[in-house]
Amino acid sequence: MHRIEAYIRLAILFIIIISILYLPILFVLKKKGKSVLRQLSYIGLICSIFLIVFATILFVPITFQPETYILNLRPFSWLGNTESFGQLIVEKIPNIMLFIPLGFFIPSVLKNKRKLYQTSLLSFCVTFGVEFFQYFIGRSADIDDIITNLLGAVIGYNVFKIFHYLFTKKKWWNQFVGK
């Protein structure tokens, strides 16, 4: 649970920092007719990408000449060991949670990515890029991370679709998604 709490604290901190940095842009775009709600969707996407990069790449020391390269291409190989429940709580659930905002904000911001396969493909590219980069900086690259990250993005996408279905006639929602 400690890792989940750390991610939540980081998310709140990044949202505050990016929001403060975004304030001047907010006022300029508001004068040009862009609604504050629409801009919040942009901030959400930026924050989710920044949090992913920070939590997966920048949170630990980077070395471009690691002593070992760890690559796991066997899905769910962790299920057989005695610590699998602990690994689920400490590694897999945070990976899912980390990508839920991305799956929600991609279709919110990008009108041409509002189908599941489009959001999933873009999310896959992000998670694959992260895992690929991690392999070369002394961290492990794991197929399970790709699977759990993609699952998180699909959950986020489904939350978006539920909101879109429930609030499609609401003015605030239409401003948020840019209708």
Q: Give per-residue pLDDT as tens, 13-60.
A: 877 887 787 777 777 777 777 787 888 888 889 889 988 988 887 766
49-67 residue pLDDT tens: 988 988 887 766 666 666 7
H or E stretch at 71: strand 70-72
Dihedral, 143, 125, 25, 31 alpha carbons, nearest 10:
-130
- Look at residues 111, 122, 126 and name the one whose alpha carbon lies nearest to residue 160: 111
Report phi then psi at 142, rounded to 5: -135, 130
Residue matched to tokens 């948020």: 176
Give every CB contact of residue 65 below 8 A, 6+ residues apart in sequence: none
